[in-house]
Structure formats: structure tokens, C-alpha cells
Amino acid sequence: MKKWEENIRQVTPYVPGEQPQEENIIKLNTNENPYPPTRKAVEAYLTTDFTKLGLYPDPTASELVGALEKYYGLEEGQVTVGAGSDDVLSLSFLTFFNSDKPILFPDVTYSFYPVWAEVYRIPYECPPLDKDFRIRPEDYKKENGGIVIANPNAPTSLGMASSEIEEILQANPDVIVIVDEAYVDFGGESMLPLLSRYENLLIVRTYSKSRSLAGMRIGFAMGSKELIQALRNVQASINSYPLTRETIRVGSAALEDEEMFQKNLKRVLHTREWAKKELEQRGFLVLDSQTNFLFARHERVSGQRLFEKLRDRGIYVRHFNGERIREYLRITVGTKEQMERLVSTLDELL
């Protein structure tokens, strides 16, 4: 190793699902929403004053922050935004997890949590999910430096009751508890009604799944004013302007079309239930999803093999190599047509 390399922060980078740029594939691997975003969002994009592309955006993104606070019935100062929930979560790790004691998150969960812990050199432990892939609240009552619970969890797709997360909160008054609600619009119980009761609770969400805006990179956190101010201070110490001008407008506009939003959600949920049954009829064990993806394992064929065969046919699902989950596939719920193609392709393969 050269001398100048010695003080470089070495990491094993996170590998996201493939983002193939070609057409005519069926992309069911990164949980994007198959339906277009609300027309109001598109209009906001097209009508952003492009003569102002040369001006810095509003560093506080106040139009979007205010719109979110209003939409969720929160007070001023209870929301902050970032460039995707990954940005918000990453800076939450940096802001809130500075103890010598390990932070806790499940062994099977969103695979970016250990990556952030590693890059920021935060000690961590991963209590295993039980045999049914469920989070056990009792595992989160030992001494720790912070907790991250994805609810619903990925890639398991399973939600836990908010009363169980409240049990965790009550056992942990002295650390920050982050609840990652990226998928909560598709099912599961949100902690939002409990936000006012717990100053140390941070809820993180995204526009990438339920709002069909993964390309715009919008994420946000909700919490007590003290918590949000601490996070904003660190955000402002990293990058003054994480969101572009049009992103701020698109994010605000997207909140105005509740009808379209609910309609798209219902379509996804309907297709999800249909697809689950179809897979079960073909010998798959499918967990009870409360998200916009299915977590499924075939009774005979290995996950790796199915993943590769599907990809050969232009159908991209997600496969993870982790010990407990390598026989499973994580399949995004696409349109009905896309899921029909998936099912008929599986019929050919199996």
C-alpha cells in the first residue's frame, strides 16, 4: 500500500439493484412504483423557471418542508428533507449515533444500515429476526447507542404493530430510535400518531416508492423540534443545498393530488394480492407483504437460479446472498401486465 493510501477510509461500497438503461425489460428489482407520478408533479417539473437554473435553490427547501408539515399535521420545525431517504438516513446516523455502545438493527433488514455504520465507524449489533422473519421487541431492550427499525421491513416485506415499536421506545428513553417508514403507505402501522409523545423518535420516509418519484431523490424525516434541529444542523454542515430548485417544487406539488396518490396505491395493493396468490399456486412460499414488493421462496428451485433465469429473460428481480435469505427473491409489484409476464415466464421456467 502506498503511503498516501494509509489514511484513506476503506469501505466495501453498497451495491444497489441493477439499473439497466435499456428498454423492453421488466424491472422489478428496486421497488419503484410502476405508475407515473401525479400530473401535478410533472407540471411542476415542466414549469420550473429554467431561467433560474443558475441560481442556488432555497437552502431550507422551505416550500417543500412547509408542505410536508401541513400535509402530515405537524408543527413548523418538525420536518427536514434530503436527497432521497438514503441521504436523510445517512446524516441521521452521523448526527444521532455517536456513542461507544453499539447501535441495534435486525440481521435481515435494509442492507444500507450496516454500510452507514461501517463508513461512519459506528459500532453495531444485529439481533436476528425470529424464525418467521419477525422483529422481536425484547431484543431491543439491552444497552445500546441507538436503534433503527424499518417498518415495514425490507426485504422481508413484513410490518410490525406500532405497539411493539412503542414497547421498544419505552425501553429506550435515552437513545434515538429511528423508524424507517419507506414502505408504510402500502401497509403496516405508522408511528406518526405517537410522534408527539416521544422526543427521541425519528420517522423517515421517501417519495421513491409510494409517490413514483424515485428519479427526483426526495426523502424526509419527522420528529420533535429538538431532534429535527439537531439533524438540520448537521445537514447544513455537510451541504447547504441538497435539493435542486425543481425537486423542491415537484415534491410540494406531489402532495396536492391525494386522489391520484390513493388510486395508485390501491392498484399496487390489488396487484400485490393477485400476484401473491399466483406465486403460491406455483409452489412459492410468499410472506404476508405490507409493502410494494413480495418476498418469496420456491419449494424446489434455488433463489440464485431463479434470479439468473429470470434475468436472462429480461425480468429483473432482486436477490441477496445473505445466509438466511439466499433462497428468496424480492419481487417489486409492477403493473398487472408486468406481473402476468412474470408469472407466465415462471411457468415456462418451472
Of the residues 163, 170, 196, 239, which one makes contact with its own copies according to CB under 8 A: 239
Is residue 303 within the footprint of its own copies (CB under 8 A)?
A: no
Q: Are β-strands 328-332 and 293-298 bridged in parallel, bridged antiparallel, or unpaired?
A: antiparallel
Site for its own copies, residues 208 to 237, rule: CB under 8 A: 208, 212-217, 226, 230, 232-234, 236-237
Of the residues 175, 178, 296, 329, which one makes contact with its own copies according to CB under 8 A: 175
> What is the DSSP annotation of 55-89?
S---TT-HHHHHHHHHHTT--TTSEEEESSHHHHH
Is residue 13 within the footprint of its own copies (CB under 8 A)?
A: yes
Site for its own copies, residues 107 to 126, rule: CB under 8 A: 115-116, 118-119
Q: How far is the CB of 23 from its own copies (least distance, A)?
A: 11
Nearer to its own copies among residue 206 and residue 289 (C-beta): 206
Q: CB within 8 A of 60, min separation 6: which ones?
A: none
**What's the distance, Cα to Cα, between the start and end of the chain in Å?**
49
Q: How far is the CB of 26 from its own copies (least distance, A)?
A: 13
String of contacts with its own copies for each residue 55-94, x by CB under 8 A: xxxxx-----------------------xx-xx--x---x
d(CA 163, CA 183): 18
d(CA 231, CA 141): 25
Nearer to its own copies among residue 162 and residue 206 (C-beta): 206
DSSP bridge partners of 80: 221
Site for its own copies, residues 144 to 163, rule: CB under 8 A: 145-146
d(CA 15, CA 100): 28
d(CA 24, CA 163): 44
Q: Is the peptide bond before 152 cis (omega within 30 degrees of 0)?
A: yes
Is residue 203 within the footprint of its own copies (CB under 8 A)?
A: no
Of the residues 98, 163, 262, 344, which one makes contact with its own copies according to CB under 8 A: 98
Order across the sheet with 124-125: list the strands: 79-82, 219-222, 201-206, 177-180, 146-150, 103-104, 124-125
- Could you tell me how many residues of this chain bind its own copies (CB under 8 A)? 87
Q: CB within 8 A of 36, min separation 6: which ones?
A: 42, 212
Is residue 53 within the footprint of its own copies (CB under 8 A)?
A: yes
Q: How far is the CB of 49 from its own copies (least distance, A)?
A: 9
- Which span (33-41, 178-186, 314-322, 332-340) binds its own copies, by CB under 8 A? 33-41
Q: How far is the CB of 105 from its own copies (least distance, A)?
A: 16
Q: Which residue in 144, 155, 254 sits closest to 210, CA to CA?
A: 254
Q: How far is the CB of 349 from its own copies (least distance, A)?
A: 26
Nearer to its own copies among residue 82 and residue 152 (C-beta): 82
Tell me the CB-side half-sphere exposure of residue 258, using CA atoms within 13 A. 2
Nearer to its own copies among residue 158 and residue 201 (C-beta): 201
- Which span (12-20, 295-303, 319-327, 341-349) binds its own copies, by CB under 8 A? 12-20
